[in-house]
DNA sequence: GCTGCTACGTTTAGACCTAAACATAGTCGA
DNA sequence: TCGACTATGTTTAGGTCTAAACGTAGCAGC
């Protein structure tokens, strides 16, 4: 072996807050222990999902697209606008996602009835692919969160819901999509 | 006005799970109500932070970089390897982030003492910028999570920590960085 | 019938990231 | 000392996203 290898564990949220207090007493670190674990969990879930999907021949963006259409029920068709709204990305991103999925034969664009809107609808192949993928992804995620007891689970869901409602209300700016990537926080 | 405007609220995690059960009875939806709010909160926090930082003339990636170095304490210098480890991104991303920050005069690359490693250290200007930005970002985030009572806050932090530890243990694959973007889930 | 107005979808430019290929430099054993 | 190996950091290719500019298409008032 060469030399200094293991950089040790990634500092916990509590350690990050403590470091700021040590370096800059008075820094408002109250939010760190809430926000940081949420980011890290989101990243762990996203990374793990990407790994699971890689084997299934589909990526997370396409899974999102097909999922939303599939669970909207028959006739398995939504407008671009609805897709953008429900997947929390911009209309431009949807346009590109649909183009990719269309190129792979997973969806079909049809003119919306009487409107100028465009309906995105599942092809036979797209329907089959999402049917195959959903159970794999959700089953895997179920095992990831299986460590929580039923009580803990219920409690956590309630608290997350409270926080989500609250943050949504306080974020004045349009809830549209903005920042990419994952962050580790200050 | 033209026509159909408001596409309604984004479906809640509970509604998404219910939709799957309606469309595909037996789908393992147990994880949705835990994972989805975590992703949405992460996205809300990231978007809001991006907006706050836009006014401060710095982006989230650079804030991450400067923050990690700043809170490591004197002499405010870390190796590329440590930076990659602590910010949860690849070494290539760090290389690019450092290059950008260096171009803006916020950091300086110096050869590590006796090692072949490269130390990234804050310049006067970088130090001043992070000093100005941290309070703004953390202060803003403190108000976002201020809706939780002290009891709720403590409870939530504990549950998130439990879940994080648990998920980390179950994710067998290397915890390295992989998936970009934010997802809304199946 | 025109003329603005608004909503919607697509296209383009630019930003950032991952993965993988490279380039280097210490380390260790024969 | 030589050579394989390992750790580090940088570069490059490719991908996805946002933001903003465009292009249309219905609608409303005159």
DSSP letter string over A112-140? Answer: -SSSS-EEEEE-HHHHHHHHHHHHHHHHH
- From the candidates A10, A82, A138, which should be mutated to test the interface with B, based on the most B CB atoms within 10 A? A138
Give the CA B3 to C1' D22 distance in Å.
22
Does pLDDT of A2 surpass 50? no
Q: Tens-of-pLDDT digits for all 186 residues of chain B? A: 444 566 778 899 999 999 999 999 999 999 999 999 999 999 999 988 988 888 888 989 999 999 999 999 988 999 998 999 999 999 999 999 999 999 999 999 988 765 567 889 999 999 999 999 999 999 999 999 999 999 999 999 999 999 999 999 888 644 444 444 444 556
> Over the stretch A101-152, which tens digit does the pLDDT of each residue have?
999 999 999 877 655 678 899 999 999 999 999 999 999 999 999 999 999 9
Q: Does nucleic acid strand D have an atom less than 7 angstroms from the CB of A84?
A: no
Phi, psi of A78 (to 5 degrees): -135, 155
Backbone angles phi, psi at A170, to 5 degrees: -80, -25
Query: Pseudo-torsion of CA A49, A52, A57, A59, nearest 10°?
Result: 10
Chain-chain contact of A171 with B40 (C-beta, under 8 angstroms): no
- Helices B13-23 and B32-56: crossing angle in degrees, nearest 10, is 140
- % of chain A surpassing 70 pLDDT: 86
Confidence of residue A4 (pLDDT cuts 50, 70, 90): low
Contact B13, B33 (CB under 8 A): yes
| Residue range A155-166, pLDDT digits in tens | 999 999 999 999
Q: Does B88 contact A184 at a Cβ distance shorter than 8 Å?
A: yes
Q: Which chain B residue lies closest to A159 (C-alpha atoms)? A: B156
The dihedrals phi and psi of B114, each to the nearest 5 degrees, come to: 70, -15
Using a 10 angstrom Cβ sphere, with 0-12 exposed, 13-18 middle and 19 or more buried, the burial of residue B179 is buried
DSSP state of A181: S
Kindly tell me if the per-residue pLDDT of A174 is higher than 90: no
A82 CB neighbours in chain B (<8 A) are 7
pLDDT single digits (tens) B134-173? 999 999 999 999 999 999 999 999 999 999 999 998 886 4
Q: State residue B103's pLDDT score.
A: 92
ipTM of the assembly?
0.85
First-to-last C-alpha distance (Å) of chain A: 33
Interface test with B, best of A7, A50, A78, A181 (most B CBs within 10 A): A181
Q: Residue A116, CA: closest nucleotide via C1'?
A: D25
What are the tens digits of pLDDT across the range A39-64?
Answer: 999 999 999 999 889 888 899 999 99
Percent of all residues in chain A with a pLDDT value above 90, rounded to a whole number: 68
Contact A135 B27 (CB under 8 A): yes
Closest CA to B184 of B44, B74, B1, B2: B44
Residue A108 per-residue DSSP state: E
Rg over CA atoms, chain A: 21
Q: Say whether B147 and A162 touch across the interface (CB within 8 A).
A: yes
Question: How many Cα atoms sit within 13 Å of A19 on the Cβ side?
Answer: 19
Q: How far is CA A140 from CA A28, A69, B23, in A?
A: 37, 22, 20
Segment A14-23 mean pLDDT: 95
pLDDT, tens only, A67-108:
999 999 988 999 898 999 999 999 999 999 999 999 999 999
Would you say residue A184 has pLDDT above 90? no
Q: Is A39-170 CATH 1.10.10.10?
A: yes
Which residues in chain A are closer than 8 Å to B51, comparing Cβ atoms? Answer: 173, 178
B41-170 is classed CATH 1.10.10.10:
yes
| Mean pLDDT, chain A, integer | 86
pLDDT at A181 over 80: no
* Yes or no, beta carbons of B163 and A145 under 8 Å apart: yes
Query: B79 phi and psi, to 5 degrees?
Result: -80, 160
Q: Residue A19 has what pLDDT?
A: 94
């Amino acid at each position: 072996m060469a030399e200094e290898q293991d950089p040790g564990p990634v500092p916990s949220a509590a350690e990050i807050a403590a470091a700021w207090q040590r370096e800059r007493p008075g820094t408002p670190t109250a939010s760190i222990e809430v926000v940081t674990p949420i980011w890290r969990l989101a990243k762990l879930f996203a990374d793990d999902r990407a790994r699971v999907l890689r084997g299934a021949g589909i990526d997370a963006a396409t899974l999102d697209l097909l999922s939303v259409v599939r669970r909207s029920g028959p006739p398995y068709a939504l407008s671009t606008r609805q897709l953008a709204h429900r997947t929390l990305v911009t209309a431009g991103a949807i346009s590109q996602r649909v183009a990719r999925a269309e190129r792979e034969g997973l969806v079909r664009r049809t003119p919306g009835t009487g409107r100028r809107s465009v309906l995105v609808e599942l092809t036979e192949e797209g329907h089959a692919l999402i049917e195959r993928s959903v159970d794999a992804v959700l089953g895997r995620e179920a095992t990831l969160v299986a460590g929580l007891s039923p009580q803990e689970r219920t409690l956590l869901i309630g608290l997350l819901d409270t926080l989500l409602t609250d943050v949504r209300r306080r974020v004045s700016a349009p809830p549209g999509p903005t920042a990419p990537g994952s962050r580790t926080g200050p």
